Amino acid sequence: MKNLDPARAKWIRFRMGILCGVMTLGLGGFVSSAFRVQVEDAQAWKETAENQRLRRLHIVPKRGTIRDRNGATIAASVEVPSVSVDVAEILRGVEGKPAQDAALADAAPRIAAALNLDANEVAQKLATRRRFVWLKRRVTAEEAQAVRDLGNAKRTPKPVRGLTIEGEGRRFYPGRELAGPLLGFVAPDGFGKDGLELSLDEELRGRADELRGLRDRTGRLIFSEGHTDESSLAGHDVQLALDEGIQHVAERELAAAQKTYETKGASLVVVDPATGEILALASTPGYNPNDYKEFEPDVRRDRAVTDRFEPGSVMKAFTVATALAAGTLKPTEKIFCEKGSFEIGNVTIHDTHPHEWLTPTQILAQSSNIGSLKIALNLGESGLYSGLRRFGFGETTGLPLPGEASGVLRPKGRPWVDVETANASFGQGVSVTTVQLAIAMSAIANGGKLMEPVLVKRITDTAGNVVREWPPRVRRQVVPPHVAKMVSEMLTAVVEDGGTGVEAAMDGYRVAGKTATAQKVDPATGKYSMDKYTASFVGFVPAERPRLVIAIVLDEPMIGRYGGDLAGPVFRRLAEASLRYLGVPPDHVSPKLKAVTRADDPADATLLAMKPEPKPAAPVATPVTTAGPPLPSDVQVPDAAGLGVRDAVRSMGSAGLVPVIDGTGRLVRQTPAAGSPVPKGTVVRLVFEPAS
């Protein structure tokens, strides 16, 4: 710059200074930004980078299996295919928005046709242009194959990229309706709803986890950070005390009783009194958990644990046991039963059959309300209340089932007055559940020991290691063993000559039990209804060495009323089948009946009609009788013309015939015709049509 004009040189130095200053400021800003990005905001940018290059796969573990006591599977998870799409894959290599829109418009109807979906619905999902979109979950095998063909270049001239078939777990119940209200169901989100699926959801569902891996520019997983053992995430398996065989028979008998007697509902519980294990817990109407959406919530509830009802005369057994244990009653003491009518306060109590002097055994056998209330009044309000509480009434049994009712023993905050004590002694003014009755009767059958009810025996992991176990446990000694033995003997009189439960008597086994026919309260009037009843029977067999305690409750039967007539035959048939199934031989001690003859139970005809029809045999030429009286073993088909369904079924059942119903309304045709001589057990087809 020495050769330059001083003024010009000064100007050049000035400009260079300005340029260096600007460059210095720019470099400072760059360094500052780099410091902020690499040091101050390093964690945030690191997460952004990982999100771009890493892919997180959400692993849903396999839900645990539910098995019965013998290892039979009653609820399991199976893999079913579901279809998703990566829209970016469909558009890979397609440049320009018009071309991409055309590619999506071409793919949508082809995908919809393969999956039997609406094309507009598929087009809306593709329009989101997301990397992951569910197209259809739990597809059929045919739909899955159609998707594979759609993406196979060898089978399709113009394959659709980005379609993925993934396995998803779906809950499957091989027994269909078997124990449906007890098991509950699993929603599409994988969470249990209702029943054991809900109460044991945390154990069955397992532990969800995420698997991370690198992905390429198309989003495909190319490297995993590490392999997670799927079995370590899987849910635990559950083994129940339930016996699938006994449960099946229980539900079959209960369904037959509901159809025959036209009940509003029914419930049944079978218990092993020695261990407290629940062998069967049935409720009807039931439902199929595989198709739970087709059933209303009211049908899905487990009536055996959620429904409260006034037990009626069943409570007399526990009243007598409490009084014997307290020493206020002697087993041979005679009590005057007022010839069937007794006034207490401003209420008059009646017996179905008038009696004078009865022993405690006769009070139970004849089901005397007056005899029971006199025992309770002599025992005292506090003695009766504490005795019934010791049997477990007024509190939940502790079963792992949602919505279990505790029942109501008495109003809060005050003791019973005399009339309430009297009513409670024969099961009025209190409410219980079916499972409470079964567990309480188990205490009498088990020498006075109230067992903790066991529905879940153990929970194990996938390796078979026991995570949790429920061994038999005595909750408390309710009454002394000798008192329990005395009451057991007294209850055998209920199913012997003169008792109310002769329909429950069995050949080769002595049965101990108690019947009940309880009026229901009409919610509209607050008074006891004259036509709505609860019929029940609770008993155990064999009486000397009890193996089964069975409680049956029929809610609002339309045909018949009395617990001995309706619930007694259900007990007998279920007990006979269950004892044969368990291999319990008859003790050859016949019940004290003049003759073990049964009234024709119409439920027998219903059970026969429920059996699958046998394959038709080859026709055999037989002579046709056209005239003359029926043979001694034959019956004449009743004339049911014009009758409704209920009356026609009752007419055929009383004649020993099996009715098969077709249609509704009034009977217009029956085959064989009325008056025809046919053997007992013949199927009669009844055709009904609505009245015009």
Enzyme catalytic residues: 313
CA distances from 471 to 263, 400, 453, 454, 568 (A): 37, 15, 10, 8, 32
Which token pair is 647? 């009356």
**For 207-301, where are the E strands, in sequence order?**
209-215, 221-224, 237-240, 265-272, 277-284
Q: How far apart are CA 228 and CA 209, in angstroms?
A: 9
92: Cα within 13 Å, side-chain hemisphere: 14
Q: How far apart are CA 70 and CA 178, in angstroms?
A: 16
Q: How far apart are CA 284 and CA 303, in angstroms?
A: 8
Alpha helices (runs of H) in 280-368, residue ranges in sequence order: 297-300, 303-306, 315-326, 360-366
Which token pair is 263? 């009940």
User: 């509704």: which residue's tokens?
Assistant: 664
Distance from the Cα of residue 380 to its chain's centroid: 40
Q: What is the DSSP letter of 340?
A: G
Bridge partners of residue 239, in order along the sequence: 67, 458
SS3 277: strand
Q: How far apart are CA 40 and CA 9, in angstroms?
A: 45
**In 10 A of CB 618, how many CB atoms?**
4
User: 């194959």: which residue's tokens?
Assistant: 145
Q: How far apart are CA 84 and CA 168, in angstroms?
A: 12
Distance from the Cα of residue 240 to its chain's centroid: 13
Q: Which of 409, 388, 182 is nearest to 281 (CA)?
A: 182
**In 10 A of CB 134, how many CB atoms?**
12
Alpha-carbon Rg for the chain, nearest whole angstrom, is: 37
Core vs surface per residue 627-636: b (16+ CB within 10 A) or e = eeeeeeebbe
DSSP symbols for 120-189: HHHHHHHHT--S-EEEESS--HHHHHHHHHHT-TTT-SSPPTTEEEEEEEEEE-TTTTTTHHHH-EE-TT
161: Cα within 13 Å, side-chain hemisphere: 13
